[in-house]
Amino acid sequence: MGAFEYTALDAAGRRHKGVLEGDTARQVRSLLRDKALLPVTVAEVAAQESRTQRAAGGFTLLRRVSTTDLALLTRQLATLVRAGLPLEEALLAVSQQTERPRVQSILLGVRARVMEGHALAVGLADFPRVFPEIYRATVAAGEQSGHLDTVLERLADYTESREVLRQKVLGAMLYPIVLTIMSFTIVSILLAYVVPKVVQVFENSRTRLPLMTRALVAVSDLIRHYGIWLLLALIALAVLFVRWQREPANQRRVHRWLLTLPLVGKLLRGFNTARFTRTLSILTASAVPVLDALRISGEVVTNLPMRDAVAEATARVREGAPIGRSLAASRLFPPMTIHLISSGESSGKLENMLERAALSQERELEGLVTALTGLLGPLLIVCMGMFVMGIVFAMLLPIFEMNTLIR
């Protein structure tokens, strides 16, 4: 029995959408006719998902489920499995609980695969954009060990903590960017519209303007006459840079350069290390083989040189080298993380030490983000105030000189 998404019309011509379970599409059409509905489209959920992914192309927002919804359904499923419900009933209950049609259709599609006799991880594999490889590998390990409820609880915690970390980093980056754009916009409006009106009064007096005022007038004229062209040039340069960065070699150069920046490099290194250690921790705790855990953990690292370092470390571990020493060879990961991993390997408590390393990096990153947000906000406000003060001072200088001449 499979799950099928349908679109049907009733006697009044109203469109209805939903999901029905059936052995074949023909049976689903028959069920719709029994409900006095005229079937328009009937497609199996897994096949419909594949077509949606191909049609969406690179637009991930069109094919992903939000992290909040994923964490919620994972925690609900863990609660029901822990309560002793059969897996197919738990999936049905969670699908009925959700208010999002897409999530409901995905859960019913997974349930259909489970009812066919497949493992839960196999059903999740039909929706790779919704359930990433770490999710599927952890669930598979939980099924094999018989502790699926515990593994699902860990997955829910991991999904929530990763989203919180991402939101903190994005918030720290978004605030200065928005403030910079607003400051640039305000200064541009002053130079393009306010300054010419004020300076025109002094130009009619045919007196030589001060150097600072003449410089302000020159910048104002540049923005008024060539501002649109300068903006188009900046947009063109940004588009060219994005296209240039699509090449893996160029993107790797940019990522390596970002790691060398004083504050940005530390932020990127801490963010990727926290994600890597957190992912590796949950995978090792779920009894996933170490090599597979390292490979999957490396895929969540967004910085390419650090991802390459994880891949090289995985190759060394495959040859028999310790994890800590293999990661230390790249000199891209913080020494504290390396020491904790090495200590966990030598003491046989790698899972606990990875958890400590992840918590340590997340706390350090949170402190860095808080300090960065607290520093950049006032700094940008001061810079904007200095710009505005310079503009006002340049416009007041001719008035001061006129007062001096009158006296």
CATH code where residue 101 lies: 1.20.81.30
Which pLDDT belongs to residue 50? Answer: 53
**CB 264: neighbour CB atoms within 10 A?**
14
Q: How do residues 190-235 score in pLDDT, each as one tens digit?
A: 777 777 777 777 666 666 777 887 888 888 888 888 878 888 998 9
Q: Assign 125 a pLDDT band (cuts: 50, 70, 90).
A: confident
Q: Within a domain: residue 15?
A: yes
Cα–Cα distance for residue pair 121/376, rounded to 1 Å: 45
Same domain membership, residue 94 and residue 43: no
Q: Give the pLDDT band (50/70/90) at residue 47.
A: low
User: Which residue, of 59, 81, 104, is where some domain finishes?
Assistant: 59
Q: Which CATH number covers residue 27?
A: 3.10.20
* CA nearest to 138, candidates 405, 149, 127, 360: 149
Residues 316 and 295 in one domain: yes
Domain contains 254? no
Tell me, letter by letter, the H, E, C secondary structure of the chain: CEEEEEEEECCCCCEEEEEEEECCHHHHHHHHHHCCCEEEEEEEHHHHHHHHHHHHCCCHHHCCCCHHHHHHHHHHHHHHHHCCCCHHHHHHHHHHHCCCHHHHHHHHHHHHHHHCCCCHHHHHCCCCCCCCHHHHHHHHHHHHHCCHHHHHHHHHHHHHHHHHHHHHHHHHHHHHHHHHHHHHHHHHHHHHHHHHHHHHHHHCCCCCCCHHHHHHHHHHHHHHHHHHHHHHHHHHHHHHHHHHHCCHHHHHHHHHHHHHCHHHHHHHHHHHHHHHHHHHHHHHHCCCCHHHHHHHHHHCCCCHHHHHHHHHHHHHHHCCCCHHHHHHCCCCCCHHHHHHHHHHHHHCCHHHHHHHHHHHHHHHHHHHHHHHHHHHHHHHHHHHHHHHHHHHHHHHHHHHHHHHHHC
- State whether 268 and 358 are in the same domain: yes
**What is d(CA 222, CA 212) in angstroms, rounded to the nearest whole number?**
15
Q: Give a yes or no: residue 339 inside a domain.
A: yes
Whether 267 and 357 share a structural domain: yes
| Per-residue confidence band for 312, with pLDDT thresholds at 50, 70 and 90 | very high
The mean-pLDDT minimum among 145-149, 189-193, 204-208, 269-273 falls in: 204-208
Is 361 found in the same domain as 285? yes
Residue 136 lies in a domain: yes
Give 57's pLDDT tier (boundaries 50, 70, 90): very low
Domain boundary pick from 113, 146, 179 = 146
Residue 209 within any structural domain of the chain: no
Tell me: the pLDDT tens digits for 17-37?
777 767 677 777 888 788 878
| pLDDT beyond 80 at 4 | no
In a domain, 338, yes or no: yes
Same domain, 347 and 304: yes
Q: Which pLDDT band, with edges at 50, 70 and 90, does 240 fall under? A: very high
For range 121-127, the mean pLDDT: 86
Query: How many domains are contained in the chain?
Result: 3
Residues 52, 76: one domain?
no
Question: How much is the mean pLDDT over the chain?
Answer: 81
State mean pLDDT over 261-287: 85
**Residues 348, 299 share a domain:** yes
Q: Which domain holds residue 312?
A: 262-366
- Answer yes or no: do 361 and 301 share one domain: yes
Give the domain-ending residue among 98, 124, 146: 146
Mean pLDDT in residue range 73-93 = 88
In this prediction, residue 62 has a pLDDT band, given cuts at 50, 70 and 90, of very low
Averaged pLDDT for residues 233-244: 91
Joined together, the tokens standing for residue 349 give 């408590």
Residues 37 and 91 in one domain: no
| Average pLDDT score over residue span 62-83 | 82
Same domain, residue pair 84 and 107: yes
According to DSSP, the residues that pair with 21 across neighbouring strands are 3
Same domain, 273 and 357: yes
